[in-house]
Structure 1
Amino acid sequence: MAWKKDSRIRDAYLACESKGEHERLTTFLKLTYTSTRTGLHIILIAAEMAPVAKVGGLGDVITGLGKALQRKGHLVEIVLPKYDYIQYDLIADLKALDVVIESYFDGQLFRNKIWVGTIEGLPVYLIEPHHPAKFFWRGTYYGEHDDFKRFSFFSRAALELLYEAGKRPDIIHCHDWQTTFVAPLYWDIYAAKGLNSARICFTRHNFEHQGTYICCKGFLKHEHYFCYFSFYLFIILVEFINTCINLSCSFMFVKVVYISRSKLYQFLYICAHPLNFK
């Protein structure tokens, strides 16, 4: 257990037993801000986690990676969707927080209920959207006609959770196509709001599944597809170009115009309309 390695966690837990939910959250958040912490604060955002919500190898990686990082002395937290299909009996101390997180989607705000618990010693946040489409109450993890919307919603809600909770992670590690939207949302919206302490890491686990879905139908009955993975490759390309330009400025002393992320993302934002990037 984490508190066997850090007496501050044990002391905080015992001191909060008789306190309200908000006071507990504030107390534990203070532990992440202390200057004596030697490890990193790492948040994993993913669609799977073994053994509670596992489809393939992704779930095993999330749990294994989280444990390995925790053993190294890092503070690890994991954010998942709250599926109805999840194995709740394997989540210890599962309970709903006395807070409601509102996230923007498809032109309006939707409420999200946040659950917390531990899975094999790892602290986990589960996001339950209060959306009429019941995104994660389908009796399955993937393969729905609106997976594009389901995980776009989740990506936005996950960042809103981190922002509203006042977290200051060092690394936000996104996994597979389901969380591709986290990176542009982070840099274009949440960094400007003050959630700007983290570096974004993205891991692609299976190239066979790239998150390609039909977004809409246009003229001549051609189907317009959106590929999450291609979207992220484009983001990497933009960042690489910007880095090269900055290096050119530094070493060649030439004046060039910095490429705006927002400008280059605009045509892809059309495909990502439900998020609206507001």
Structure 2
Amino acid sequence: MKNVLFVASECVPFIKTGGLADVVGSLPKCFNKDEFDVRVIIPKYMCMKEEYKNQLEYITHFYMDLSWRSQYVGVLHMMYEGIHYYFIDNEYYLAGPRPYGNIYEDIEKFAFFSKAALSALPLIGFKPDIVHCHDWQTGLIPVFLKDKFHEGEFFCNMKSIMTIHNLKFQGVWDMKTVKDITGLPSCYFTPDKLEAYGDANYLKGGLVYADAITTVSRTYAEEIKTPFYGEHLDGLLNARAHDLRGIVNGIDYDEYNPETDRYIVKNYNAKNFRKEKVKNKRALQEELGLEKDDKKFMIGIVSRLTDQKGFDLIAYMMDEMCQQDVQFVILGTGEEKYENMFRHFAWKYQGKVSANIFYSEAMSHKIYASCDAFLMPSLFEPCGLSQLMSLRYGTLPIVRETGGLKDTVIPYNEYEGTGTGFSFANYNAHEMFNTLKYAQYIYYEKKREWNKMVDRAMAADFSWASSAKQYEEMYNWMLGC
């Protein structure tokens, strides 16, 4: 049996702010249980849902040195859907209404969590062969494994993996403070280790010391080796290129299933979507006060409203897009300028644009099930999950060819009769607009071709099972199996 420990700052269903939580919550369930024992360790935040906090069982507690301070570490446990979850408890660090707060507090919080997670392992009786670390919050773990922990027999052969979910976030703070917090010797704070541009960088430490590095799509793994996407770490990622691989994320095919989805008005599948899917569109038009028309080309957007997601392109072309024979349904929150932009267009084009400036799980499912197309013109997108959900529901994505979007959406080719969506290459508002118009033309003028594309989209497999197989191969390769 090979033992693997996932260490992360969030995990569904316990605590979630983004896609990282989906990966950490969904992936461990999909490994071959006869070969791999995969467990998860996360912080026990005070803001976790009460229903889960009440089910945790106390295992042990101890006091740990964090540099010159002695800190309490509680360890709790819960079995959930066949997986062991461990929780690190310390109310000084993990109180507050949100998992993340000010970066200077988070820097100390996740230094504590990283050291506590490793220190707890001998006491919980689980000795991982591989510690799989996720994002900057766990970047110190590969460093600690090569430092103090390396001396003990328990830890000496332990391997580590660093997975980058979004390279933009790196855990950067001033060197003096980080030295003081971590207690690491000065020799670790050099340009070939944790130091970057005068500061200390947690993620960089993880990338330097991990035995292997992954990210969440093949294309993103290539992109981050370039200055544009590399966030000042492209040199390091090129140096470690032979240890870097991209494995695309999946989605939970039970949760996102048009055949059983409890949030949608009419369930449907790949066989009957031609008749049944439109009933969801009707219901959504009614609910949101849009013009009722089964044949109207309806475009969905479910997103954080930020520059990264391409909303500057949408802002530039929104008036012209609204002149087309289309409807827009937007769901999400984010930068005020984009929230207000969509409110303005919903007012200006009543019956044509619906701006829902909040987040609702139920509404997101309704949009995936009701719309004909899904717009996602991101500037960069490590993996992206929304396009995978829209494919699952037979709602064809219109995306920019970057990161995971390029890896998961096959552009329509009318000559070969292939494709599962539409894409454009350059980060350009007119190119996006022309791609949208082309999709609209196929929808109205070549409906049979459109429906065949929906067939192919719904047949694509982006379940976690296929991702898990690739991780299993990597673990075996690392362990020389």
Please give the per-residue CA displacement for 1:126-182, whole angstroms capped at 9, x wherever unaligned. 11126xxx1110111113231100000000000100133343211111110000000
Contact kept, 8 Å, 1:93 with 1:117, in 2: the verdict is yes
Alignment partner, residue 37 of structure 2:
75
Alignment partner, residue 408 of structure 2:
none
Alignment partner, residue 274 of structure 1:
none
Alignment partner, residue 128 of structure 2:
169
In structure 2, which of residues 154, 158, 163 is the aligned counterpart of residue 198 of structure 1? Answer: 158
Alpha-carbon distance in structure 2 between the residues aligned to 1:129 and 1:199:
27
**Residue 63 (structure 1) shift:** 1.3
Aligned length: 194
Answering whether residue 84 of structure 2 is matched by residue 123 of structure 1, we say yes
**Residue 212 (structure 1) shift:** 2.5
**Residue 87 (structure 1) shift:** 1.6
Alignment partner, residue 11 of structure 2:
49
The structure-2 alpha-carbon separation of the partners of 1:143 and 1:114, relative to structure 1 and needing over 3 Å to count, comes to same
Please give the per-residue CA displacement for 1:217-261, whole angstroms capped at 9, x wherever unaligned. 9xxxxx964322233344366xx79x9xxxxxxxxxxxxxxxxxx
Alpha-carbon distance in structure 2 between the residues aligned to 1:188 and 1:214:
21
Alpha-carbon distance in structure 1 between the residues aligned to 2:114 and 2:96:
18
Alignment partner, residue 140 of structure 1:
98
**Residue 190 (structure 1) shift:** 1.4
Please give the per-residue CA displacement for 1:10-46, whole angstroms capped at 9, x wherever unaligned. xxxxxxxxxxxxxxxxxxxxxxxxxxxxx31111111
Answering whether residue 26 of structure 2 is matched by residue 64 of structure 1, we say yes
SS of equivalent to 2:6: strand
Answering whether residue 170 of structure 2 is matched by residue 210 of structure 1, we say yes
SS of equivalent to 1:146: helix
Alignment partner, residue 17 of structure 1:
none
**Cα-Cα RMSD:** 2.8
SS of equivalent to 2:209: helix
Alignment partner, residue 57 of structure 2:
95
**Residue 68 (structure 1) shift:** 1.2
The structure-2 alpha-carbon separation of the partners of 1:71 and 1:168, relative to structure 1 and needing over 3 Å to count, comes to closer
Contact kept, 8 Å, 1:213 with 1:226, in 2: the verdict is yes
Alignment partner, residue 111 of structure 1:
72
SS of equivalent to 2:10: coil
**Residue 92 (structure 1) shift:** 8.1
SS of equivalent to 2:142: helix
Alpha-carbon distance in structure 2 between the residues aligned to 1:188 and 1:106:
14
Alpha-carbon distance in structure 2 between the residues aligned to 1:72 and 1:182:
27
**Residue 96 (structure 1) shift:** 1.1
Alpha-carbon distance in structure 2 between the residues aligned to 1:120 and 1:165:
20
Contact kept, 8 Å, 1:90 with 1:119, in 2: the verdict is no
Contact kept, 8 Å, 2:142 with 2:205, in 1: the verdict is no
The structure-2 alpha-carbon separation of the partners of 1:114 and 1:233, relative to structure 1 and needing over 3 Å to count, comes to closer
**Residue 215 (structure 1) shift:** 5.9
Alpha-carbon distance in structure 1 between the residues aligned to 2:52 and 2:90:
21
The structure-2 alpha-carbon separation of the partners of 1:124 and 1:92, relative to structure 1 and needing over 3 Å to count, comes to farther
Alpha-carbon distance in structure 1 between the residues aligned to 2:108 and 2:32:
32
Alpha-carbon distance in structure 1 between the residues aligned to 2:22 and 2:198:
33
Residue type of the alignment partner of 1:141: P
Alpha-carbon distance in structure 2 between the residues aligned to 1:184 and 1:106:
15
The structure-2 alpha-carbon separation of the partners of 1:230 and 1:187, relative to structure 1 and needing over 3 Å to count, comes to closer
SS of equivalent to 1:151: helix
SS of equivalent to 1:147: helix
Please give the per-residue CA displacement for 1:179-232, whole angstroms capped at 9, x wherever unaligned. 000011112111211122421111011112222245669xxxxx9643222333
**Higher relative contact order by CA 8 Å / sep ≥ 6: 1 or 2?**
1
Alpha-carbon distance in structure 1 between the residues aligned to 2:47 and 2:13:
12
Alpha-carbon distance in structure 2 between the residues aligned to 1:136 and 1:190:
24
TM-score by length of 2: 0.37
| Same amino acid, percent of matched pairs | 26
SS of equivalent to 1:67: helix
Return 5+ residue gaps in structure 1 as ranges: 1-38, 218-222, 244-278
Alignment partner, residue 231 of structure 1:
205
Alpha-carbon distance in structure 2 between the residues aligned to 1:234 and 1:198:
16
TM-score by length of 1: 0.62
Alpha-carbon distance in structure 2 between the residues aligned to 1:48 and 1:205:
12
More deviation in 194-203 or 42-51? 194-203
**Residue 73 (structure 1) shift:** 4.0
